[in-house]
Amino acid sequence: MRLSVLTDETTSPERQRDADDIAASALNIDFGEGDGLREAVDLDVSASKISPFDRPQLGGWLARPDEFDALVWWRFDRAIRSMGDMHELAKWAKAHRKMLVFAEGIGGGDSSSTSATPWTP
């Protein structure tokens, strides 16, 4: 999950988490729970200014690719804001054989859909 501004109600962490959970369930992706919960929550982090690899929590996960098989975002814009960052993320996903999932919007379903679109570069 990512927010540029913590008070942005349209992309609240709860809304993102709910959509991510639905998409993960549809694809049999298990995020774990409790102390084993596997998620990155980068609040007050601009995707326009900070690449996925440099974000406080997501960057840590990207540095440990052996610990997961897929990355799930609510929407495309929660992952990246530039084509350069998308290019680097796609190269990383291909090199590490990871699936990128966008639950809704561009690259995923629409807000009335419960299906997610997985993408493997």
pLDDT at 14: 83
pLDDT digits (tens, 9 = 90+) for 22-58: 999 999 999 989 988 899 988 888 999 999 999 999 9
Cβ(103)–Cβ(23) under 8 Å? yes
Is the pLDDT assigned to residue 112 strictly greater than 50? no
Instruction: With residue 100 as reference, give the H or E element that holds it.
Output: strand 99-102
Rounded Cα distance between 3 and 6, Å, is 6
Give the pLDDT confidence score for residue 114 in this predicted structure.
44
Residue 113: pLDDT band (50, 70, 90) is very low
Mean pLDDT of the chain: 84
Run of H or E including 2: strand 2-3
Residue 12: the pLDDT is 82
> What's the pLDDT at 31?
92
Question: What is the pTM for the complete model shown?
Answer: 0.79
